[in-house]
Chains A and B, each alone.
Chain A
Amino acid sequence: MRILVVEDYAPLRKSLVLGLRDAGYVVDETGDGEEGYWYASNNTYDAIILDLMLPGCDGKEIMRRLRHAGSAVTILVLTAKDTVADRVQGLDLGADDYLVKPFALDELLARLRALTRRFVGVKNPIIRIADLEIDPAQRRVLRADASIDLTPREYALLELLASRVGTPVTREEIRQHCYDFSDETASNVIDVYIGYLRRKIDRPGLRPLIHTRRGFGYLIAEPT
Chain B
Amino acid sequence: MNGWSLRSRLRLGTFAAIVAVMAISSLIVYALINRSLYHEFDATLRTQTQLLAHLVDRQQDFITVDYDAAKFPEYASDVNPDYFCYRSDDDEVLSASPSLIESGRSLPLETGPITAPVIQNLILPDGRKGRCAGIYFKPRSSTVFNDTNVDSPLAHSYPQVKLVVARATTEIESDLSQLALVLLIFCSIAIISTLCIIEFMVRVLLRPVDHVATRIAEYDIHDLSTPWSVKEVPRELVPMVTRLSELLSRLDIVMQRERAFSSDVAHELRTPFAGLRATIEATLARPRDTPHYLTALHECLSICTQTEGVINTLLILSRSDHDHIAITRSACDFDLLLKECWKLVAAEAEKRHLHITWILTPCVAHIDQGLIRLVLTNIYTNAVTYVNDGGTITISTHQDQHATIMTISNSGCSLNPDLAARVFDRFWRGDQARTGTGTHSGLGLALCHVLVTLHGGSIRADIVAEQFTLTITLPL
Interface residues of A (CB under 8 A from B): 8-9, 11-12, 14-16, 18-19, 22, 33, 51, 53-58, 78, 80-83, 100-106
Contact = CB atoms under 8 A, between A and B. Distances in A.
B462 interface: no
21 contacts: A9-B271, A12-B271, A14-B299, A15-B278, A15-B279, A15-B281, A18-B282, A19-B281, A51-B435, A53-B433, A53-B435, A54-B435, A56-B431, A58-B432, A58-B433, A78-B274, A80-B266, A80-B271, A105-B277, A105-B278, A105-B285
Contacts of B271: 9, 12, 80, 101
B435 A56 contact: no
A89 to B, nearest CB: 13
B431 A19 contact: no
Chain B at the A interface: SS class: helix
B273 interface: yes
B302 A11 contact: yes
Contacts, number: 91
A15 B275 contact: yes
B431 A102 contact: no
A57 B278 contact: no
B448 to A, nearest CB: 23
B263 interface: yes
Closest 10 CB pairs of A and B: A101-B274, A15-B278, A80-B270, A102-B274, A11-B275, A12-B275, A80-B267, A19-B282, A105-B281, A58-B433
B272 interface: yes
Contact of B278 (A16, A22, A51): A16
A11 B299 contact: yes
Contacts of A101: 270-271, 273-274
Contacts of A16: 278, 282
B433 A102 contact: no
B434 A102 contact: no
Interface in B430-454: 431-435, 437
Contacts of B282: 15-16, 18-19, 22, 105
Given A56-B433, A102-B277, A11 B263 contact: no
Interface in B247-305: 263, 266-268, 270-279, 281-283, 285-286, 299, 302-303
A9 B277 contact: no
Interface residues of B, number: 28
B273 A8 contact: no
Nearest to A51: B435
A12 B267 contact: no
A12 B434 contact: no
A173 to B, nearest CB: 28
B431 A9 contact: no
Nearest to A83: B263
B274 A103 contact: yes
Given A11-B302, A22-B285, A83-B263, A53 B434 contact: yes
Given A53-B267, A80-B266, A83-B263, A19 B285 contact: yes
A165 B281 CA distance: 33
A9 B433 contact: no
Contacts of B299: 11, 14
Interface of B: 263, 266-268, 270-279, 281-283, 285-286, 299, 302-303, 431-435, 437
A181 B283 CA distance: 24
Nearest to B286: A22
Contacts of A33: 433
B289 to A, nearest CB: 13
A37 to B, nearest CB: 12
Contacts of B263: 81, 83
B60 to A, nearest CB: 129
A11 B303 contact: yes
**Residue of B285, B303, B435 ringed by the most chain A CB atoms within 10 A:** B435
A8 B276 contact: no
Contacts of A12: 271, 274-275, 278-279
Contacts of B270: 80, 100-102
A100 to B, nearest CB: 8
Given A9-B272, A15-B275, A101-B270, 13 more contacts: A8-B433, A12-B274, A19-B285, A55-B434, A56-B431, A56-B433, A58-B432, A58-B433, A102-B270, A103-B278, A104-B281, A105-B278, A106-B281
Nearest to A78: B274
A34 B150 CA distance: 136
A55 B433 contact: yes
Nearest to A59: B433
Contacts of B433: 8, 33, 53-58
A81 B275 contact: no
A9 B435 CA distance: 7
A56 B433 CA distance: 7
A19 B274 CA distance: 13
Interface centre among A9, A22, A55, A106 (most CB of B within 10 A): A9
A9 B267 contact: no
Contacts of B432: 58
A7 B408 CA distance: 33
Contacts of B272: 9, 11
A151 to B, nearest CB: 15
A16 B279 CA distance: 8
Nearest to A31: B435
Nearest to A103: B274
A104 B435 CA distance: 20
Contact of B279 (A11, A103, A104): A11
Contact of B275 (A9, A54, A83): A9
Contact of B274 (A53, A80, A106): A80
A74 B174 CA distance: 108
Contacts of A9: 271-272, 274-275, 435, 437
Which of B283, B286, B433 neighbours the largest number of chain A CB atoms within 10 Å of its CB? B433
Contacts of B431: 55-56
Contacts of A82: 266
A207 B281 CA distance: 41
